[in-house]
Amino acid sequence: EAGVAQSPRYKIIEKRQSVAFWCNPISGHATLYWYQQILGQGPKLLIQFQNNGVVDDSQLPKDRFSAERLKGVDSTLKIQPAKLEDSAVYLCASSYQGNYNEQFFGPGTRLTVL
């Protein structure tokens, strides 16, 4: 079974530029999550989708971050414009139903904002 795929693996941009990350969850997984992991910290949930609907985006900085999951499969997370403090690893995870089920994580995208 293929795991959660993410691209790119690494991205370096300058502040005020835009960036987008892509995630392809495990086939059949209805729930998709985006996490931000700042160096030395645990992952923090940004947004959770159930199929193509948003379940929770309370911790998503909506003035600069946006995410979508069209057709309930792949998802894209965008930052526009980026700030220095956005430097982090962005992890995508998926689970079968999202109800205390195990989450499977992708390898992450390491973003550096200069």
Partner 1 sequence: AQKVTQAQTEISVVEKEDVTLDCVYETRDTTYYLFWYKQPPSGELVFLIRRNSFDEQNEISGRYSWNFQKSTSSFNFTITASQVVDSAVYFCALEGSARQLTFGSGTQLTVLP
Closer residue to partner 1 (CB): 79 or 89: 89
Structure tokens, 92: 């995508």
Q: How far is the CB of 10 from partner 1 (least distance, A)?
A: 11
Nearest residue to 38 via CA among 62, 59, 14, 24: 59
Rounded CA gap, 25 and 94, in Å?
Answer: 6
- Whole-number Cα distances in Å, 70 to 58, 76, 107: 20, 9, 22
Q: How far is the CB of 82 from partner 1 (least distance, A)?
A: 20
Pairing of strands 109-113, 10-13: parallel
Binding mask 22-51 for partner 1 (x = CB under 8 A): -----------x------xxxxxx--x---
Q: How far is the CB of 15 from partner 1 (least distance, A)?
A: 24
Regarding 93 and contact with partner 1 (CB under 8 A), the answer is yes
Amino acid at 78: K
Regarding 84 and contact with partner 1 (CB under 8 A), the answer is no
Residues of this chain that interact with partner 1 (CB under 8 A) are 33, 40-45, 48, 55-56, 89, 91, 93, 98-100, 102-108, 110
